[in-house]
Structure 1
């Protein structure tokens, strides 16, 4: 099985090595890991394998770009259908039980939907229809999404991220993270998602720079929630 998968992933392995990255299979041979410490705009980690999130059935592609961004830069864009499903799940989980708060075992993706304001005023109608955007402030979300990233997301909605396809892009803990359902590792799709992540990273870097220059936007609940993040959850 390991040898068969190695052959199946040969195009991805060759692409990774051409980028100066290291490709390795997971121990069970059912997935792979790509690490590129010298990637730009920051060290890149790409994993494909069994999903780590219940809202992504089967297998997923997950990526992390280490950016050293301002730690108050907490923003998320996700598939609108997924956002609506997660909102329902959060509501049901915390109204049907005795819990009175969103506990720290709940993924940030779900907690942020409760904690942070939504940005619903994107200039692009396609962006408004296909994606949900939340962040520690609407001003930060707007600054991130209105521009090159928004254009890339609109483009991706045509084929790479069809309507209803689970997808999450987040800026937190100084890094940028991407998760999406991917039943089979496919080189063109991996390449396209890496390009999308790189655009999001550059735009996040720009916004982070404005924050660092003088705290252009106030923060809200982010500081209170920072200790609840789980260092062991790499993506």
Structure 2
């Protein structure tokens, strides 16, 4: 036990020094930076961030489709609870579609319904967005959502431009990334072997754009009257508790 504690201390101290630039950047934003209990990851929380309260995590992947370590960001936006949209790397979308199709056609369908994360269930529940105005974004990303018109409006404009720009450096072709809105929040999840301040800043900027564009769509929704629901009854009755692990 003693040697384990000493090892943990050395790991935490080493990582704290390595991640000092991220720590200092967090403090400059009036955010709280802390190491995870095992000292191998970190959490950043900024309750008064814009466009909404922010939580950033780096550590072991919580999704089977991301190997190794990942970056997770959540931005609380108080969107309509059923504003469910997602954009993800096209290769990842195709891989998840194959996986979830096989799972939904075997004898474990009930288990799949409760065990698989939203981003996989949505692939069989929600319509794909077939037309994306930017050719580059259309080639590199796929998009789905509870309503095609809302998803198209979300991707039209600033978010499409931000995705095109990120695909040049932050998100090279094939790099797994998911951006989604659900439970009133915006989320980003992506593979990241080692935390890098420039990469975190760039990905946070991308999610902030996605969040602002979601707020714009949410505003249009409130003006247009009744919510155009296409979700299944089973999905509406089985939402998990709020948790960064889902997603």
Q: TM-score range by the shorter chain?
A: over 0.9
Residue 169 of structure 1 pairs with residue 179 of structure 2: yes
Deviation at 1:71, TM superposition (A): 1.3
> 1:6 is matched with which residue?
16
2:217 to 188, 207, 224: 207
1:108 to 95, 118, 130: 118
The answer as to whether partners of 1:45 and 1:65 remain within 8 angstroms in 2 is yes
> 1:66 is matched with which residue?
76
> 2:86 is matched with which residue?
76
> 1:96 is matched with which residue?
106
Aligned-residue RMSD, C-alpha: 1.5
Deviation at 1:127, TM superposition (A): 1.0
Residue 195 of structure 1 pairs with residue 205 of structure 2: yes
The answer as to whether partners of 1:68 and 1:175 remain within 8 angstroms in 2 is yes
> 2:42 is matched with which residue?
32
> 1:225 is matched with which residue?
235
Bigger radius of gyration, 1 or 2? 2
Hey, what's the Cα distance between the residues in 2 that align with 1:102 and 1:15? Answer: 40
Hey, what's the Cα distance between the residues in 2 that align with 1:167 and 1:232? Answer: 20
> 2:56 is matched with which residue?
46
The answer as to whether partners of 1:133 and 1:141 remain within 8 angstroms in 2 is yes
Q: Is the alpha carbon distance of 1:140 and 1:53 closer, same or farther for their aligned partners in structure 2, counting shifts above 3 Å? A: same
> 1:22 is matched with which residue?
32
Hey, what's the Cα distance between the residues in 2 that align with 1:211 and 1:223? Answer: 21
Per residue, is there more helix in 1 or in 2? Answer: 2
1:64-85 per-position Cα deviation (integer Å, ceiling 9, x unaligned): 0001001121000000000000
> 2:4 is matched with which residue?
none
The answer as to whether partners of 1:74 and 1:222 remain within 8 angstroms in 2 is no
Deviation at 1:216, TM superposition (A): 6.6
Hey, what's the Cα distance between the residues in 1 that align with 2:226 and 2:169? Answer: 36
1:176-215 per-position Cα deviation (integer Å, ceiling 9, x unaligned): 0100000000000000000001000000000001112233
1:149-196 per-position Cα deviation (integer Å, ceiling 9, x unaligned): 000000001110000000000000000010000000000000000000
Hey, what's the Cα distance between the residues in 2 that align with 1:177 and 1:133? Answer: 14
Structure 1: gaps of 5 or more residues: none
Hey, what's the Cα distance between the residues in 1 that align with 2:82 and 2:232? Answer: 7
Residue 135 of structure 1 pairs with residue 141 of structure 2: no
Residue 150 of structure 1 pairs with residue 160 of structure 2: yes
Structure 2: gaps of 5 or more residues: 1-10
Hey, what's the Cα distance between the residues in 2 that align with 1:197 and 1:116? Answer: 22
Hey, what's the Cα distance between the residues in 1 that align with 2:225 and 2:177? Answer: 30
The answer as to whether partners of 2:183 and 2:242 remain within 8 angstroms in 1 is no
Hey, what's the Cα distance between the residues in 2 that align with 1:214 and 1:125? Answer: 29
